């Protein structure tokens, strides 16, 4: 029972982090648009988060090694809380870009420490269950944070204070625990060369998902604001997209376990590309069709990254999952950093719907690449595949500790086989 209590406490801490992160991310985009920030500045706010998150994923393990887990987590939570409050006090585009980078750094560090505690509690029998519950809770909490904006609105101090309370309360589970501090944090294993040798399609998928979802997550709220939607409608719109994207992961992933994963990626990518094309050509504004199109985008775009990770793992050798998945994180982070900048330029030079040119192009590029690679490398038979695992939807939320907690990093999957060399 004590182990169960410790796990639930950590789940609560993680949920509070993700709740605050979901609220803050959507809030800054909409409030920034309301404050008449330039589209480029709004794009750079999204870029700042990605740069800070990736930097934190790489450097926080060294900080924890010096001061310990609990002190490091307290620092991350405190600085993250101060950061969102400074967003309220310093309503300025340059300040928000810098603060968003600092927020991403702190969020990465705090998430890694919570995940390391979960990893310490888990064993090989419970790792899969804990990983699945953790992923589900994070998705649900992030969506709840987005929905909270429909209650708090974006004006005034209330949404910033609610986010700050959520961040600082996340420190309680680690501060009150009586268990020994967990093992050292996992350092990011960044080997893009190994990833490309294992699966070129995985590299293209990670970059394309980063470009498309980084643009969508940062600038689609600005599109909603430009089309006259109020904060509550934007919150519901994005919560709908996130929920449908989370729900779609399991059936899409299980289907990819049975057939060529590249076929599933092609189908999902084409669907997401068609949604982007429809948005560009018809620009439905804020009517009911917008909810249908955004929901369809979530259903099709959000499962792609997890399927790409599973596909890369199908062809990785024993003991290489951490390096392959770490390479995926780096390539994803590059796309997440660049995408919002290009999207903001498209919106400035075209129309608010111009951001969907980016999502359409990169999803179409992924579909074409996967189709061409299918003609070069045969499908992996079912006996040689690893089991699909849901993952965050391609936003900057996965850390090296997330990879370490994934059962595939422990070689747990009995169906994994040593692959033959070759490119995908």
Return the CATH number at 208.
1.20.1250.20
Identify whether the C-beta of residue 116 lies closer than 8 Å to the C-beta of residue 69.
Answer: yes
How many other C-beta atoms lie within 10 A of the C-beta of residue 78? Answer: 14
Range of the domain at 266: 2-410
Give the residue ranges of the chain where pLDDT is below 50. Answer: 1, 412-424
Identify whether the C-beta of residue 388 lies closer than 8 Å to the C-beta of residue 310.
Answer: yes
Q: What pLDDT is stored for residue 97 in this prediction? A: 96
Helices and strands: H and E segment counts in the chain: 16, 0
306: nearest Cα among 386, 243, 186, 365: 386
| 415 occurs within a structural domain | no
Q: What pLDDT is stored for residue 139 in this prediction? A: 87
| Torsion angle, alpha carbons of 199, 201, 207, 210, to 10 | -110
Distance (Å, whole) CA 103 – CA 46: 11
Identify whether the C-beta of residue 83 lies closer than 8 Å to the C-beta of residue 133.
Answer: no
308: left (phi over 0), alpha (psi -120 to 50) or beta: alpha
What 3-state DSSP class applies to 157? coil
What 3-state DSSP class applies to 283? coil
Q: Which residues contact 273 (CB under 8 A, 6 or more apart)?
A: 359, 360, 361, 363, 364, 367
| 418 occurs within a structural domain | no
User: Count of domains in the chain?
Assistant: 1
Q: How far is CA 351 from CA 111, 147, 283, 285, in A?
A: 37, 27, 9, 12
Task: List, for residues 64-117, the tens digit of each pLDDT value.
Answer: 888 877 788 888 889 999 999 999 999 999 999 999 999 999 988 888 887 777
| 419 occurs within a structural domain | no
| Torsion angle, alpha carbons of 141, 158, 352, 234, to 10 | 50
| 370 occurs within a structural domain | yes
| 417 occurs within a structural domain | no
Q: What pLDDT is stored for residue 190 in this prediction? A: 64
How many other C-beta atoms lie within 10 A of the C-beta of residue 373? Answer: 16
Q: For the packed helices 261-282 and 304-314, what is the interaxial angle rounded to 10 degrees?
A: 150
| 423 occurs within a structural domain | no
Instruction: Annotate 284-316 with three-state secondary structure.
Output: CCCCHHHHHHHHHHHHHHCCHHHHHHHHHHHCC
Query: CA 100, 22, 177 angle in degrees (round to 5)?
Result: 95
| 422 occurs within a structural domain | no
pTM of the model: 0.86
DSSP classification of residue 113: H
Supply φ then ψ for residue 177, to 5 degrees.
-70, 145
Query: CA 19, 54, 330 angle in degrees (round to 5)?
Result: 120
| 158 occurs within a structural domain | yes
Identify whether the C-beta of residue 417 lies closer than 8 Å to the C-beta of residue 383.
Answer: yes
Identify whether the C-beta of residue 104 lies closer than 8 Å to the C-beta of residue 396.
Answer: yes
Q: Which residues contact 337 (CB under 8 A, 6 or more apart)?
A: 47, 50, 51, 54, 210, 214
């Amino acid at each position: 029972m004590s182990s169960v209590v410790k796990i639930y406490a950590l789940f609560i801490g993680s949920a509070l982090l993700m709740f605050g992160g979901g609220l803050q991310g959507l809030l800054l985009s909409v409030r920034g648009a309301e404050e008449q920030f330039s589209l480029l500045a709004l794009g750079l706010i999204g870029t700042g988060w990605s740069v800070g998150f990736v930097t934190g994923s790489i450097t926080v393990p060294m900080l924890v090694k010096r001061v310990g887990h609990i002190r490091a987590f307290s620092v991350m939570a405190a600085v993250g809380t101060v950061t969102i409050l400074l967003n309220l006090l310093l309503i300025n585009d340059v300040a928000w870009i810098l603060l968003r980078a600092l927020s991403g750094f702190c969020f990465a560090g705090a998430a890694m420490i919570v995940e390391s505690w979960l990893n310490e509690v888990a064993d090989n029998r419970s790792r899969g269950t804990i990983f699945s519950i953790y992923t589900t809770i994070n998705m649900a909490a992030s969506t709840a944070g987005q929905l909270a904006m429909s209650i708090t609105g974006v004006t005034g101090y209330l949404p910033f204070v609610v986010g700050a309370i959520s961040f600082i309360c996340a420190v309680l589970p680690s501060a009150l625990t009586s268990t020994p501090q967990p093992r050292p944090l996992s350092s990011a294993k960044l080997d893009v060369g190994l990833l490309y040798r294992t699966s070129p399609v995985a590299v293209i998928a990670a970059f394309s998902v980063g470009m498309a979802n980084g643009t969508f997550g940062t600038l689609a709220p600005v599109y909603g604001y430009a089309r006259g939607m109020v904060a509550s409608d934007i919150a519901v719109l994005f919560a709908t997209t996130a929920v449908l994207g989370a729900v779609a992961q399991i059936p899409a992933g299980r289907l990819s376990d049975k057939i060529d994963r590249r076929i599933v990626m092609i189908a999902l990518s084409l669907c997401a590309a068609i949604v982007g094309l429809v948005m560009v050509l018809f620009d439905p504004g804020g009517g009911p069709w917008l909810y249908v199109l955004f929901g369809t985008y979530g259903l099709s775009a959000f499962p792609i990254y997890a399927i790409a990770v599973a596909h890369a793992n199908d062809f990785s050798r024993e003991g290489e999952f951490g390096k392959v998945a770490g390479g995926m994180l780096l390539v994803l982070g590059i796309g997440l950093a660049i995408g919002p900048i290009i999207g903001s330029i498209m919106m400035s030079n075209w129309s608010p719907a111009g951001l969907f040119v980016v999502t359409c192009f990169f999803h179409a590029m992924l579909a074409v690449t996967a189709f061409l690679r299918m003609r070069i490398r045969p499908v992996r038979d079912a006996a040689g595949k690893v089991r699909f695992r849901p993952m965050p939807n391609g936003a900057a939320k996965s850390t090296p500790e997330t990879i370490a907690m994934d059962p595939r990093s422990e070689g747990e999957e009995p169906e994994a086989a040593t692959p033959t060399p070759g490119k995908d």
